[in-house]
Structure 1
Amino acid sequence: MARLRAATRASHDSVDAAFGAYDLSDRDAYRRFLVAHARALPAAESALGALAFARTLPPRTLLLARDLADLGESMPPALPFALNSEAALWGALYVVEGSRLGGVMLARSVGADLPSRYLSAAHGPGQWRAIREAIDAAGADAPPEWHDALLAGAAATFDLYAVAVESSARAA
């Protein structure tokens, strides 16, 4: 986990800054923020369906779709996204579930009259710790190539979110 966090810090900060540019108290800006997430999250959650551990976690795509519907918006087409190894999926899981932590913090900035099911979907008690422990356990005896694939999966997932926010900004 420590290596994963350190290796993805710049990508994490970049994606956070891009999404942080939205005023979540403004209905239109918040809608655009959710549309950008909707271009990435369903693709990532779909890929994670190949990882047994990920299937034990509650998905958020439906919550995101409901929030968008409340804002009069349909789900946009998801961006293409595929990973080719279990190790890469563990990296994607780190990003997707880490975004859940950030979402809960962002939910505080959402306007009181706006839907926030998606951002408010917190982990259950001990769930984030269980995710971190599962990632560590999956890579405990793995060769260096496994760890390289883990990092590549996390990087690809951050890139997915970066492309989603960039494409949504161009469409606005």
Structure 2
Amino acid sequence: MRDSASAVLRDRTGPAHEAVDAAYGRYRLDDRESYAAFLIAHARALPAVEAWLADRAIAFPWRSRREALAADLAVLGRPMPDPLPFALPDDDAAGWGALYVIEGSRLGGVMLARQVEEGLPRRYLESGFGPGEWRQFRQALDAAAVDQAWIARAVTAAEQVFALYGHAA
């Protein structure tokens, strides 16, 4: 393949990613109530995607962040909201596309954690990667891609996950 699957995903989902960043950029992470609303929005999306992924065999050892999110909300005195409805085609490419979004959000989360007011919980946002794990994820994604049609299905799934996060915001 000419371009790696991870590079194609990054390029083709860029507009969807930017729209989600803009939607979540309205929240103030240095304000307790706004930060709680930010976490609630994430809690409407992330557990839905993780539940869908949990029923699939994906050749990457991803780790759920649902418990970290629930713990942060509990510290803020907020319950976990019901997740939004979510489903993708039962397809290996769709699983990798979904995982691309939620694993990629770990990178942004670590940067966002720096904006959280002192004394507020950061367990969810600080649930980043260990050294080299993002590179290992991209390599596994690239190895899983079988052809351009597979990559196109992964892109479609990733865009649907970004849309779910946008709707949750």
TM-score range, shorter chain: over 0.9
Query: CA shift at 1:53, angstroms?
Result: 2.8
User: Which residue number in structure 2 is paired with residue 20 of structure 1?
Assistant: 25
Aligned length: 162
Q: Distance in 1 between matches of 2:79 and 2:85?
A: 18
User: Which residue number in structure 2 is paired with residue 116 of structure 1?
Assistant: 122
2:34 pairs with 1:33:
no
TM-score (norm 2): 0.93
User: Which residue number in structure 2 is paired with residue 147 of structure 1?
Assistant: 151
2:44 pairs with 1:68:
no
Query: CA shift at 1:21, angstroms?
Result: 1.1
Aligned alpha-carbon RMSD (Å): 1.0
Secondary structure class of the residue paired with 1:82: coil
User: Which residue number in structure 1 is paired with residue 163 of structure 2?
Assistant: 159
Q: How does 1:65-144 map onto structure 2 within 5 Å?
A: 65-84=70-89, 85-139=91-145, 142-144=146-148
Q: Distance in 2 between matches of 1:128 and 1:143?
A: 22
Q: Distance in 1 between matches of 2:98 and 2:132?
A: 20
Q: Distance in 2 between matches of 1:163 and 1:149?
A: 21
- Of 47, 53, 58, 1:48 maps to 53
Q: In structure 1, list runs of 5 or more residues that go unmatched.
A: 166-172
User: Which residue number in structure 2 is paired with residue 2 of structure 1?
Assistant: 7
For residues 100-126 of structure 1, give each alpha carbon's deviation from its aligned partner in whole angstroms, at most 9, with x where no partner exists: 100000000001110010001110111
Query: CA shift at 1:7, angstroms?
Result: 0.2
Distance 1:51 1:160, change over 3 A: farther
Q: Distance in 2 between matches of 1:96 and 1:53?
A: 15
Q: Distance in 2 between matches of 1:76 and 1:157?
A: 18
For residues 116-169 of structure 1, give each alpha carbon's deviation from its aligned partner in whole angstroms, at most 9, with x where no partner exists: 100011101111001100110000xx233212211111001101100100xxxx
TM-score (norm 1): 0.91
The one-letter code of the counterpart of 1:10 is P
Q: Distance in 2 between matches of 1:124 and 1:103?
A: 14
Q: Distance in 1 between matches of 2:69 and 2:92?
A: 26
Query: CA shift at 1:20, angstroms?
Result: 1.1
CA contact (8 A) 2:58 2:92 kept: no
Secondary structure class of the residue paired with 1:83: coil
Query: CA shift at 1:17, angstroms?
Result: 1.0
